Structures are given as structure tokens and as C-alpha cells.
Structure 1
Amino acid sequence: MIKIENVSKTFGVKKAVDNLNLEIASGQIYGFLGPNGAGKSTTIKMIVGMLKQDSGKISIDGIDTLENPIESKKKFAFVPDSPEIYDTMSGRQYLNFIADVFEMDVKTRVENIKKYSEIFEMESSLDTLISAYSHGMKQKIVLIGALIHNPELLILDEPMVGLDAKSSFRLKNIMRERADDGKTIFFSTHVMEVAEKLCDRIAIINKGVIIAEGSLDEIKEKAHESGSLEKIFLELTE
């Protein structure tokens, strides 16, 4: 679903991403891990089109993100680590705006808005202005917007940040269900326990370079370590 080939990105004299190669297949929950400043967010921003890579190629479902940016964006939904959205809209107006962008019919949008607003316990706040939302409520409304049009690919940057325990649990269930249904989830997280329990495959990036990639068992085998993912992560990145 996502193919990254020889991708690099430099800011001034700092190489944020250095000749990155990754391939994420459909039907997987793929965790993208790394310490602060490792290149995670830069990579994600290049995938979704917020940044342009200096070299290399990124494709989503076979579509080059630079050559066909609109077509590639139709394939995914993106939830950033900081939900900066339209404060002057109500939650319902925002969700209908997203539904319009993806040309959803009225019946499907109404059903899906109802479904996901109930899952994330936002139904009573849909007609409140987003400016009155807490950080967690903004995170929930962005997640609902990402899910209502049923994308083949979900790209999530630290999606659990700001969510209460119940919403985090329900989001993890949704991610698993979608992957089991053949869809793809690519997400970054600092929470090693979440990655260890949830991910089918994992990549660890440090200083712009992939230093480990594979299933948890494969990473443990390559690292000659049988401990937790957190322990392996700390040893590899230090």
C-alpha cells in the first residue's frame, strides 16, 4: 500500500531522513517508532504531501505522491499529532465538510457520523463549536473525520495522545478490525507497549535511518534480545 524508495530530506545542514526505504503491505498495522527528532514526523509529512522529499519516490497503492497528489490523497486519511482544525465550525459541520471532500452520499455519511460519534462518545457535542472542545475532543473529532469515509489507508501520528483510556481502547479495536478487513494502518507512537501488542510489523528510525524493521519476533532475533520492545528500542537507539 505504501512504498518508499530511496527517500531523503534535508533541512539546512541537517539530514532529517537519509535514503529511506520501506514497504507497507495491505492488511497490516505498521508501527513507526523512533526517539524525538529521529525523522518520524518528517517521513509522515512527506507521505501525506505536507513536505516534498529532496530525492526518492513515495507511492500509495501504486500512485506516485508527487506526480498525482490528488489521486494519492483519495486513498488515505491522515490524523496529525496536533489536531489543528476549523475552530469556527461545529463538530458536525466539520465532519460534513470532510464527507463533501470525499464525495460521500448523504445516507452513508449520516450513518457513519452516528456510528463513530457514538463509539467516541461525541454525539452530544457534535453541534458545539470546535473552539469549545478540549484537546481530547478535538482528537476524537479528527479521528471520526478520518474514519467516516472508510479509507483504504489510515496514517496516524501519535493517535493516542490526548485520548482517554476508553477511547484509546476503542481506537485500537478499530485499527485491528480494519487491518483484519484488508485495510492498512501506518502509525507512529512513543508508547512501546501499544506497538508491541498491536503491530504486525515495526520499523525503528533513528537519526533519519531505519535501524530495525520486521515483525516483533524478527526484530528480537536480529537484536539477539528476548526482552520487551521497550528494552530493544532503548538499546538500539542509544
Structure 2
Amino acid sequence: MLKIENVSKSYNKGAIKAVDNISLNVRPGEIFGFLGPNGAGKTTTIKMIVGLLKPDEGNIFVNGINNQKEPLKTKKIISYVPDNPEVYDRLSGMEYLNFIADMYGVSKEERLKRIEKYLEIFKLKDAVNDLIKSYSHGMKQKIVLTAALLSDPMLFILDEPMVGLDPKSAFNLKEIMRERCSEGKSVFFSTHVLEVAEKLCDRLAIINKGKIIAQGTMEELRRQSENKESLENIFLELTEK
């Protein structure tokens, strides 16, 4: 579903190597966790996957489509929720959802069903006709998540999706992620909440200083580490070497 081949990205004319020759593969029906300390290269990698940044080297394929050569085709089959969503504050929640549905060409019938479903899950029905500028941070996160799910993406990409969510909404999001993967779709997400990643992900990759230092299932990661008790222990050991 997602294939990253030898991808690198530098800033300041090559002075800062944000991502250094990384490769990974996310399979259909898989929840893939992308972990790393602050500044490790997670968000830069995600922005290259969704087409907001161009890699200096390497290729990225989404469902076999090169995202640099055919960007519109890849954007039609992915949805992206950034770590700090920027929303149109002067639209109501419903206007924003319809705008996103229009952008993806979602039919009236399908959008109504999906809007109804996710507004109920995220408890936004009473606020959906209010202006987004009146929303709390958590409500904005939930309206962005709802919008991202309207196109029923093959690849759902999230950068720190649990930040700002109340416990019930975080639980519901995890259930949505599992549901999508049971349908053969894929989820790729970064998080600092290692307990969530350990319980939720089929496979994981750890990036540090722009390089992937470990990837695989939890069992495979344990074999690469001396301290095998938890993902937190494995993460700290590998990133502090």
C-alpha cells in the first residue's frame, strides 16, 4: 500500500539531513506505527508521503503509484491528519465537511451516511452547525478526523492523532483504525504514546536523527534490543545508543 525507497530530505542547502536514506513498506490491512524523538524526521517523512514536500532522493509509491510523478492520483486515495490541523475557522463544521467531500468527489448519498456515522462516533452532532472558530482544540481535531474519513481513503495517514482527544474519542479512533484495516485498507501514524503503539500496531519503525534504526513487529523489535519488557524500554534503549 505504501512503499518508501531510499528517501532522503535535507534543509539549508544540505546542511541539515532531516531524513537520511530511509526505506519501509506498509502492507494492505496493516496499522503501521512510526516512532521517534522530537526532530527525528517523522513529520518530514509524512509530508513527503502526502506530497507537501519533495524528497531530494528516492521514491514513494502509494498503491503502486509514484507520488511525485502522479500526485493527484495518490492524493485521491489518501487522507492526512496533521499534528496541528489548520481549519477554516469562519466555516461551520458542516460547511467544512461538505467542502472536503466536494474536493474528493464524494457523492451526496455517501457523504450523508459517513457524516452521520462519524459525527455520532465523535459526539459532534450538536456542534456541527456552529462556526469552527468556536470549537475547542479537541473538537477541531475531531472535525478534521471526520473530514479525513469522508473519502474512505485506502491509506489513512495521521501525525500524532491522539493529541487533544478525550479518552472516549481516542478509544473510538483506535476502533476506526482497526475497522479500516479489517477492510484491507492501511493506516500509517506517528505517535509519542508508546503504549498505544505497542497495543495497536501490526508493525512499527523507529526513526532517529533521520535514519530508521529498527522496524518490524513487536517480537522482531524485541530481538533487536536487550531490554525487552515494553516498547518504551526498547525505544529508549535504541534511541539513546
TM-score under structure 2 length normalisation: 0.97
Partner of residue 103, structure 1: 105
Partner of residue 138, structure 1: 140
Partner of residue 124, structure 2: 122
Structure 2 counterpart of 1:2, which letter?
Answer: L
Q: How far apart, CA to CA, are the structure 2 residues paired with 1:178 and 1:105?
A: 20
Preserved CA contact (<8 Å) 2:34 2:206: yes
Partner of residue 193, structure 1: 195
Could you list the runs of 5+ residues in structure 2 that have no partner in the other structure?
A: none
* Matched pairs, number: 238
Partner of residue 86, structure 1: 88
Q: How far apart, CA to CA, are the structure 1 residues paired with 2:114 and 2:179?
A: 16
Q: How does 1:49-60 map to 2 (within 5 A)?
A: 49-60=51-62
Partner of residue 8, structure 2: 8
Deviation per CA, 1:163-208: give whole Å up to 9, x if none: 0000000000110111111110000000000000000000000000
Q: How far apart, CA to CA, are the structure 1 residues paired with 2:23 and 2:85?
A: 28
Q: How far apart, CA to CA, are the structure 1 residues paired with 2:107 and 2:47?
A: 29
The DSSP-based 3-state class of the residue aligned with 1:118 is: helix
Q: How does 1:12-31 map to 2 (within 5 A)?
A: 12=12, 13-31=15-33
Partner of residue 39, structure 2: 37
Deviation per CA, 1:66-118: give whole Å up to 9, x if none: 11100010111000000111111100000001111111111111111011001
Q: Determine what percentage of the aligned residue pairs are the same residue.
A: 60
Could you list the runs of 5+ residues in structure 1 that have no partner in the other structure?
A: none
Deviation per CA, 1:92-151: give whole Å up to 9, x if none: 000001111111111111111011001000011110011111110000000000112211
Q: How does 1:57-72 map to 2 (within 5 A)?
A: 57-72=59-74
1:213 is aligned, of 212, 215, 236, to 215
The DSSP-based 3-state class of the residue aligned with 1:83 is: coil
The runs of at least 4 consecutive aligned structure 1 residues that moved more than 6 Å come to none
The DSSP-based 3-state class of the residue aligned with 1:15 is: strand
TM-score under structure 1 length normalisation: 0.99
Q: How far apart, CA to CA, are the structure 2 residues paired with 1:78 and 1:30?
A: 14
Q: How far apart, CA to CA, are the structure 2 residues paired with 1:229 and 1:193?
A: 7
Structure 2 counterpart of 1:102, which letter?
Answer: Y
1:226 is aligned, of 225, 228, 241, to 228
Q: How far apart, CA to CA, are the structure 1 residues paired with 2:143 and 2:195?
A: 25
2:76 is aligned, of 74, 77, 82, to 74
CA RMSD of aligned residues (A): 0.7
Preserved CA contact (<8 Å) 2:106 2:150: no
Asked whether 1:182 is paired with 2:184, we answer: yes
